[in-house]
């Protein structure tokens, strides 16, 4: 731990987006020669903080100090120039170019007439590679390297820039155990050189292995900074949970009567989904919890016929159904409200009316001709029942607020003859008022006898709305908890423990 003069300090960083207070008055310090973990639930503010560090976003207020000096980043270039590098989960590499070109992406050594001196560049790149003891050639195309080695290239790029601060965003997500060891060696090296290392990961085990300090964020606020050696796993989980959402759930009228099994999934498997089995009853709200990227959406995509299934079975009302496309799924009685409303849910430039009737066009048409009065009646009904705030059904969906957009998608499924409705993060990015409306709508649909799958990254939401909670980690079910026994701690522990058998 050579120098205490090297550090990055966040002072009262505050950032708001529409409807969300992403960072609240965050202050902490990460020292050089230390690996500092950022830990928190989904939506705790880690990504926003990294984005601010990288210059991709600017804070509404607050300061970042680098070795005592205030730095202001207006762009990612500013951040790089100041010596801050972020290693993202999705690597920012040019796969068709060589390792050298990627390492020197922003400044290839020039020779006479400004022509790139490749010999010198390759030699210098190879020197860095050897220094890191990585068995790759500087001239190799990055696309031909393993995922781990690609990540090393990314790190070497940061190293070459002489970065003072290097932040890692879930660096081990796609690495094998051996590759993780190599990565940790490199990170230790960089730490020993006195660099400031920020490390974002959900894998608690790793944090104990590699980090020296753990900073916990919750709901965009700073909770605590602990020395890793003195921390315990249950303590960390306890500090991460316990979000206060007020009395939003107090008046929720939940459905209490359940019927027969409406959907049964047996041993569903494909590239991203591993042996998933569960049952859903009529009138039941089945919560799906897990960390971002755990594979919840992928399970639903497989059930809904978007992604191909390798093996396994889906049964509706006890009878096997063969779903090859979303159309098949809808015809079998399954509806989906996708996670990304704007990209996957709505045709933004078209009207509420048109967006409402997409799945049922054939049922409101005679001989291929749309019955417009029927369509208007359905759209008007959906606007009324789902309390969509608009002057007219001819309003373009893009002009609605997030909550109302979500209600348009919910309304879309009202007229389709559904048995199962899958809601993927239905309350993401919408304000509290609309959220509570949507919770009630979910409960009302359950009362009507629909089986509901409710995916959410917000634990309090799942715990309060769902009858049962299925916890997913790494494409498989790590536990199914009843509402009565489920606590935030239990769900989070299941979500963060990999390969632990369901108990």
Partner 1 sequence: MKSGHNKINARSILQNNNVVMLIVVVAIIILFTLLNSNYFSFNNMMNILYAASIIGLLSIGMTYLMIAGHIDLSCGAIAGMSGAICAVILRDTPIEHWPVAFVITLCVALAVGALNAVLVNVFELQPFIATLATASVCTGTSYLLSGGRAVVVENLALIAVGKGKLFGMPYTVVIMIILFIIFGFILSRTVFGRSVYMVGGNETAAKLAGLKPKKLTSICYLMSAGIASLAGVLVTARMHSAMPGAVSGSEFDAITAAVLGGVAFIGGRGNLAGCFIGLLIIQCFANGLTVLGINSFWQVVAKGILLIAALIFDYVRRKNIQPSVITDAEITAAVANNQ
Tokens, residue 112: 């006479």
Which region among 61-69, 138-146, 379-387, 454-462 touches partner 1 (by CB under 8 A)?
379-387
- Which SS3 state, helix, strand or coil, does residue 498 take? coil
Question: Any contact of residue 380 with partner 1 (CB under 8 A)?
Answer: yes
Nearer to partner 1, 151 or 357 (CB): 357
The answer to whether 378 and 352 are in contact (CB under 8 A) is: no
Nearer to partner 1, 436 or 476 (CB): 436
Which region among 158-166, 340-348, 462-470, 478-486 touches partner 1 (by CB under 8 A)?
340-348
* # chain residues binding partner 1, by CB under 8 A: 50
Question: Any contact of residue 344 with partner 1 (CB under 8 A)?
Answer: yes
Handedness of CA 306, 312, 315, 320 (dihedral sign): positive
Question: Any contact of residue 115 with partner 1 (CB under 8 A)?
Answer: no
DSSP string, 21-50: EEEEEEEEEEETTEEEEEE--TTSSHHHHH
Question: Any contact of residue 359 with partner 1 (CB under 8 A)?
Answer: yes
Tokens 């060696």 appear where? 185
The answer to whether 247 and 240 are in contact (CB under 8 A) is: no
DSSP string, 266-285: EEEESSS--SEEEEEETT-E
- Closest approach of Cβ 68 to partner 1, in Å? 39
Helices (H) and strands (E) counted in the chain, each on its own, are 16, 22
Residue of 322, 302, 334, 444 whose CA lies nearest to 386: 444
**CA distances (Å), origin 394, targets 250, 360, 397, 399:** 36, 18, 9, 11
- C-alpha span between 442 and 437 (Å, rounded): 9
Residue 240-259 contact track with partner 1, rule CB under 8 A, x = bound: --------------------
Tokens, residue 469: 């909670």
- C-alpha span between 54 and 251 (Å, rounded): 42
Say how many Å lie between the first and final Cα of the chain, rounded: 43
Tokens, residue 472: 């997913």
Nearer to partner 1, 58 or 392 (CB): 392
Among positions 200-229, residues that touch partner 1 (CB under 8 A) are none
Question: Any contact of residue 333 with partner 1 (CB under 8 A)?
Answer: no
Which residue in the set 124, 307, 431, 489 belongs to the binding site for partner 1 (CB under 8 A)?
A: 431
Query: Using the 8-state DSSP alphabet, how is residue 89 labeled?
Result: S
- Closest approach of Cβ 210 to partner 1, in Å? 38
Which residue in the set 91, 274, 374, 376 belongs to the binding site for partner 1 (CB under 8 A)?
A: 376
Among positions 288-327, residues that touch partner 1 (CB under 8 A) are 304, 306, 325-327
- Closest approach of Cβ 409 to partner 1, in Å? 9
- Closest approach of Cβ 436 to partner 1, in Å? 12
Question: Any contact of residue 426 with partner 1 (CB under 8 A)?
Answer: no
Which residue in the set 346, 378, 452, 496 belongs to the binding site for partner 1 (CB under 8 A)?
A: 346
- Closest approach of Cβ 17 to partner 1, in Å? 12
- Closest approach of Cβ 223 to partner 1, in Å? 29
Tokens, residue 7: 């550090």
Query: Using the 8-state DSSP alphabet, how is residue 173 labeled?
Result: T
Which residue in the set 404, 406, 427, 456 belongs to the binding site for partner 1 (CB under 8 A)?
A: 404
- Closest approach of Cβ 353 to partner 1, in Å? 8
- Closest approach of Cβ 246 to partner 1, in Å? 17
Which residue in the set 141, 258, 401, 464 belongs to the binding site for partner 1 (CB under 8 A)?
A: 401
- Closest approach of Cβ 303 to partner 1, in Å? 13
Query: Using the 8-state DSSP alphabet, how is residue 342 labeled?
Result: I
Radius of gyration of the chain (CA): 25
Residue of 233, 202, 197 whose CA lies nearest to 213: 197
Which residue in the set 349, 484, 485, 501 belongs to the binding site for partner 1 (CB under 8 A)?
A: 349
Q: Which residues bind partner 1 (CB under 8 A)?
A: 18-19, 304, 306, 325-327, 330-331, 336, 338, 343-350, 354, 358-359, 361-362, 365, 368-370, 372, 376, 380, 383-384, 389-394, 396, 398-401, 403-404, 412, 431, 433-434
């Amino acid at each position: 731990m050579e120098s205490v003069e090297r550090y990055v300090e966040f002072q009262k960083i505050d950032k708001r987006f529409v409807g969300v207070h992403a960072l609240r008055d965050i202050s902490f310090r990460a020292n050089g020669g230390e690996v500092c973990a950022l830990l928190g639930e989904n939506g705790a503010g880690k990504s926003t903080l990294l984005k601010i560090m990288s210059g991709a976003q600017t804070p509404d207020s607050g300061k970042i100090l680098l070795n005592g000096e205030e730095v202001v980043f207006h762009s990612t270039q500013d951040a790089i120039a100041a010596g801050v590098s972020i290693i993202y989960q999705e690597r920012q590499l040019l796969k068709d170019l060589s390792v050298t070109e990627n390492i020197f992406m922003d400044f290839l050594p020039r020779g006479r007439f400004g022509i790139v001196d490749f010999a010198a560049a390759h030699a210098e790149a190879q020197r860095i590679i050897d220094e890191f003891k990585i068995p790759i050639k500087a001239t190799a195309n990055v696309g031909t390297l393993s995922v781990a080695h690609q990540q090393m290239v990314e790190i070497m790029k940061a190293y070459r820039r002489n970065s003072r601060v290097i932040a890692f965003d879930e660096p081990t997500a796609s690495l094998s155990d051996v590759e993780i060891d190599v990565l940790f060696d490199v990170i230790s090296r960089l730490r020993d050189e006195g660099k400031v290392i920020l490390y974002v990961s959900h894998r608690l085990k790793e944090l104990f292995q590699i980090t020296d300090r753990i900073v916990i964020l919750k709901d965009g606020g700073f909770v605590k900074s602990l020395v890793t050696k003195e921390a315990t796993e249950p303590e960390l989980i306890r500090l991460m949970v316990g979000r206060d959402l007020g009395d939003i759930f107090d008046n929720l009228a939940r459905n209490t009567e359940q019927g027969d099994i409406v959907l049964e999934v047996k041993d569903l498997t494909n590239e991203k989904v591993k042996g998933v089995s569960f049952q859903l009853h009529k009138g039941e709200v089945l919560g799906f919890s897990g960390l971002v990227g755990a594979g919840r959406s992928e399970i639903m995509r497989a059930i809904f016929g978007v992604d191909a299934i390798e093996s396994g079975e889906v049964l509706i009302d006890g009878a096997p159904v063969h779903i090859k496309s979303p159309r098949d799924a809808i015809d079998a009685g399954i509806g989906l409200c996708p996670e990304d409303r704007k990209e996957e849910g709505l045709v933004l430039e078209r009207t509420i009316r048109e967006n409402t009737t997409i799945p049922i066009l054939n049922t409101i048409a005679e001989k291929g001709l749309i019955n417009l009065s029927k369509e208007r009646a359905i759209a008007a009904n959906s606007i009324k029942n789902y309390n969509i705030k608009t002057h007219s059904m001819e309003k373009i969906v893009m002009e609605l607020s997030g909550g109302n957009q979500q209600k348009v998608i919910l309304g879309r499924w009202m007229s389709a003859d559904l048995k199962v409705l899958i809601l993927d993060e239905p309350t993401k990015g919408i304000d509290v008022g609309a959220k509570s409306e949507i919770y009630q709508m979910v409960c009302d649909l359950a009362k009507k006898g629909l089986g509901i799958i409710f995916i959410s990254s917000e634990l309090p939401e799942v715990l309060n709305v769902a009858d049962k909670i299925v916890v997913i980690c790494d494409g498989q079910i790590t536990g199914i908890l009843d509402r009565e026994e489920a606590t935030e701690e239990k769900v989070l522990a299941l979500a963060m423990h990999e390969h632990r058998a369901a108990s």
